[in-house]
Structure 1
Amino acid sequence: MMQVRKAIIPVAGFGTRLLPISKAIPKEMVPVVDRPLIQHVVEEALAAGINEIILVTRAGKSAIEDHFDAHFELEHSLASKGKDAQLQILSSISPKKLKVTSVRQPSAKGLGHAIFCAAYLLDKDEPFAVILPDVLVKPQISCSTCDLGSMVERWNAKQVAQIMVEAVPHEEVYRYGIVDCDEPAPGESAAMRGVVEKPKPEDAPSRLSVIGRYVLPYRIMQLLDGLPPGAGGEVQLTDAIDSLMQEGGSVEAFRMLGRTFDCGHIDGWLKANTMLAREAGYKV
């Protein structure tokens, strides 16, 4: 029985919804309170028991890799001045158990193509997580539950693919990918029958939207291999997940307990900074 040890994080996007901030700075390096967005996401993976991160990147994104690398000159300078607190901050960015690997996506061919770029870094039949870094997933206040960790636990126990979902108002389902399943309680999973992209409210099979956290079997990589372009002329991960269900594979929708912040656009990024800064004790 193979355990989930690796998470694939696609970071090759242009971040156009965050322009002009993201013109020269990778959107994943935009700060949310006191650390870049990508660090929040990697910390989420570590909290879920995943310590191997695969970044699917492109030219112009080296700042992301640099963030998790050692900075000997800075460390030496801080040490020589006795700035132990700052040294501790640096060491917390990349703890010893964390392993970060990068692979290039040579051209923008969709999320499915980005995920497949990392296939050769997985062992045969190895499951993996996918984390989309635009969306932060944070526990509720006074709650320490890691939703991604719960998904990993469910995979480890049942070997069934997990897709994180969040309940949205019925009138807003047209903005999201909506799963077809019986609605589970928060913190629980339910078998999926399918997923519909941006349905009309009257046609929506549920009000549960896909969040951008997945725990998937290696079979998904095999289905992505040679998968023709789908919506938007791009290779879609959802098409591979649909193919998995069509051939009899089990996929479950995990209804999150926590909160989401869509930092891929200015409004969501500002909301994350304001709310999380207040919770951290900063004066906003």
Structure 2
Amino acid sequence: MVRWANDHASEESPHVPVKPLKKAVLPVAGLGTRFLPATKAMAKEMLPVVDKPLIQYAVEEARAAGIEQFCFITGRGKTAIVEHFDVAYELERTLADRNKTAELEALRAQAMVPGSIVTVRQQVPMGLGHAIWCARAFVGDDPFAILLPDDLMLCETSCTAQLAAAYKETEGNVVAIEEVPREKVNRYGVLDVAEDKGRLVSVKGLVEKPAPEVAPSNLTIIGRYVLMPEVMGHLAKLEKGAGGEVQLTDSMAKLIGSQPFHGLRYEGKRFDCGDKAGFLEAQVAFALRRPDLAPAMRTILKTYG
């Protein structure tokens, strides 16, 4: 079992620096039923926002935080996700022969170091907690990030990089949070706040999908986490929670008290691309940030406004 620097070390014990954050788990086994029929034969994580699939945005965000190893939790029909990060020799040769330099450079920019991606199958859909538990051998005794590709982040500094900095500062678990209207808290994991310091919120409890009238706050967890490996021991019990599924929130709550646990008010904007309206909004927002597309997008918006 890993011993962390803040686990009641004596005054005489030298400070042990936290392990660097180098691993990320990306659960991509979902069926994408809200986007049928588009997702009948296509993984929802391959749906493009402008000209990149959701999964690529998530991987790029993690790499900007120094993540070097990735574990995709996959299911049936998800092979295109892994192939997207493979080398397409024939395509690259064709682009080179046709002097498509910009396109070739864009492909090569997303190339991954050999051996940096592994996949694990989640044979039975038993919830997010179960999906994360499937990555236990990959995680081992290391801290790890979790990125849910449905949550597309638009941040000047990578949201995962912000979490990584907070992890280094607090030496413990950190989740990205945002405030939502109280009537919507039953869609999220919700923080029970011990101390609100503004950017960082110390957490004394977590509740998964509470009814609005009993929710401890309106501070909710979004799809970005940095967790200690000890969470796997709690997930291994496969205890079912809200919705009859193995909930990640329930196992994270069991870490509180033995390890630091904080919520981070990240700087940026989240687009819920598991929702059709959120997906369309992301198309507009990301196109408007592109100098080559912004004028055309503004014209389109005026035409249909």
Query: What residue number does 2:3 align with?
Result: none
* CA distance in 2: counterparts of 1:98 and 1:207, whole angstroms: 41
> Matched residues in 1 for 2:225 and 2:173: separation?
8
Please show how residues 29-178 of structure 1 align to structure 2 within 5 Å: 29-96=46-113, 99-123=116-140, 125-139=141-155, 144-178=156-190
Per the alignment, residue 222 of structure 1 pairs with 233
**Cα distance change of structure 1 residues 53 and 202 upon mapping to structure 2, 3 Å threshold:** same
Query: Are residues 1:267 and 2:283 paired?
Result: no
Return closer, same or farther for 1:270/1:184 CA change in 2, 3 Å cut-off: farther
Task: Give, in whole Å, the separation in 2 of the partners of 1:46 and 1:173.
Answer: 31
The aligned runs of 1:17-32 (5 Å cut-off) are: 17-32=34-49
Deviation at 1:147, TM superposition (A): 2.6
| Aligned residue pair count | 276
Secondary structure in 2 matching 1:54: strand
Alpha-carbon distance in 2 for matches of 1:208, 1:231: 18
Partner Cα distance (1:199, 1:233) in 2: 14
Asked if the contact 1:51–1:97 (Cα under 8 Å) also holds between the matched residues in 2, the reply is no
Give me the whole-angstrom Cα distance separating, in 1, the residues matched to 2:242 and 2:43: 26
Q: Distance in 2 between matches of 1:235 and 1:201?
A: 22
User: TM-score, normalised to structure 1's length?
Assistant: 0.91
Letter aligned with residue 216 of structure 1: L
2-side partners of 1:98 and 1:153: how far apart? 26
After superposition, the Cα gap between the structure-2 partners of 1:170 and 1:235, relative to the gap in structure 1 and judged at 3 Å, is closer
**Partner-residue secondary structure (3-state), 1:150:** helix
Q: CA deviation at 1:173?
A: 2.9
Give 2:258's aligned residue: 248
Q: Which moved more, 1:81-90 or 1:53-62?
A: 81-90
Q: How many Å separate the matches in 1 of 2:211 and 2:237?
A: 31
Displacement, 1:224?
A: 1.1
CA distance, structure 1, for counterparts of residue 41 and residue 128 of structure 2: 22
Contact 1:26 1:61 in 2 (8 A): yes
SS at match of 2:130: helix
TM-aligned CA distance change 1:279 to 1:158, over 3 Å? same
Q: CA deviation at 1:260?
A: 0.4
TM-score by length of 2: 0.85
Unaligned runs of 5+ in 2: 1-17, 298-305
Q: Give the root-mean-square deviation of aligned CA atoms.
A: 1.8
Once the two structures are superposed, residues 95-118 of structure 1 have per-residue CA deviations (whole angstroms, 9 ceiling, x without a partner) of 448822111111111111111111
- The share of aligned pairs that are identical, in percent, is 43
1:7 aligns with 2:51: no
